[in-house]
């Protein structure tokens, strides 16, 4: 999701900077720095995710004036590194697309809270549900924690964005539905496919890279 900051009230764009910064500090405190130091390849994974997210977010489409959509990829990032590093990598990618002019620094907090924090935490919640309520099967993990999880994440972003645009009277509710929300079905499958295929590829080649995938449990048979 990308919204022109001129469409949003200043109190919203400025007011969200404090919770966004607090959330990033919390994520930084939750990172397992010991593992990053011992396993140097994990640092390369983090850098690669930041780069891939930045590239994905450069590929976007405009639906209506001041509003654009793009692949998120944050479900895969959450499954790969856990929610703290997924939040930080999303923030790094957001700073990059702001640096090259695709976003504005003034809209950083709104974009971070809606387009990074929301999908990361929705992905984490669905992951926990899959881990506790479903059998430890790699296909269940791929389709539910990967494919469907990615679709649910972008649906959450689209719903909150629609409520924000309509509630703040940026657009009328009819315009929000006709110019944005009605395209939601077209967003679900591509986002789910991108995340699901990435997770399937990692499980098929280097499953130990997935911090949320216990190889011994899922392949014990």
Can you read off the two tokens belonging to residue 58?
């450069």
pLDDT of 196: 93
pLDDT of 170: 80
SS (H, E, C) the chain: CEECHHHCCHHHHHHCHHHHHHHHHHHHHHCCHHHHHHCHHHHHHHHHHHHHHHHHHHCEEEEECCEEEECCCHHHHHHHHCHHHHHHHHHHHHHHHHHCCCCCHHHHHHHHHHHHHHHHHHHHHHHHHHHHHCCCCHHHHHHHHHHHHHHHHHHHHHHHHHHHHHHCCCCCHHHHHHHCHHHHHHHHHHHHHHHHHHHHHHHHHCHHHCCCCCHHHHCCC
Helix axes 17-30, 83-99, angle to 10 degrees: 130
Of 13, 12, 149, 29, nearest to 88 (Cα)? Answer: 29
Domain covering 2-218, topology:
Arp2/3 complex 21 kDa subunit ARPC3 (1.10.1760)
pLDDT of 38: 83
List per-residue pLDDT tens for the chain, 221 residues long: 666 666 788 888 888 899 999 999 999 999 988 888 888 888 999 999 999 999 988 887 666 655 667 788 999 999 999 999 999 999 999 999 989 887 888 888 999 999 999 999 999 999 999 999 998 888 999 999 999 999 999 999 988 988 888 888 888 888 888 877 787 888 889 899 999 999 999 998 888 888 888 877 777 65
Cα separation, 214 vs 184, whole angstroms: 33
| Contacts for 93 with CB less than 8 Å, ≥ 6 apart | 50, 53, 54, 57
pLDDT of 136: 86
């Amino acid at each position: 999701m990308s919204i022109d900051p001129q469409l949003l009230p200043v109190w919203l764009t400025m007011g969200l900077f404090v919770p966004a910064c607090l959330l990033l500090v919390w994520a930084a405190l939750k990172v397992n720095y010991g593992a990053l130091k011992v396993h140097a390849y994990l640092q390369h994974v983090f850098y690669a995710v930041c780069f891939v997210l930045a590239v994905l977010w450069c590929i976007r489409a405009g639906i209506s004036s001041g509003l654009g959509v793009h692949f998120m990829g944050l479900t895969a990032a959450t499954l790969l590194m856990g929610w703290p590093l997924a939040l930080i990598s999303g923030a790094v990618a957001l700073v990059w697309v702001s640096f090259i002019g695709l976003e504005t620094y003034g809209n950083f907090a709104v974009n971070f809270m809606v387009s990074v924090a929301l999908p990361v935490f929705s992905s984490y919640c669905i992951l926990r549900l899959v881990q506790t309520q479903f059998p430890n099967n790699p296909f269940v993990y791929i389709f539910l924690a990967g494919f469907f999880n990615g679709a649910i994440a972008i649906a959450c972003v689209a719903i909150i964005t629609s409520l924000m645009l309509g509630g703040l009277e940026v657009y009328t509710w009819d315009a929000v539905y006709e110019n944005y929300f009605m395209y939601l079905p077209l967003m679900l499958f591509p986002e789910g496919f991108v995340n699901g295929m990435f997770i399937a590829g990692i499980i098929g080649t280097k499953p130990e890279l997935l911090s949320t995938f216990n190889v011994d449990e899922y392949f014990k048979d």
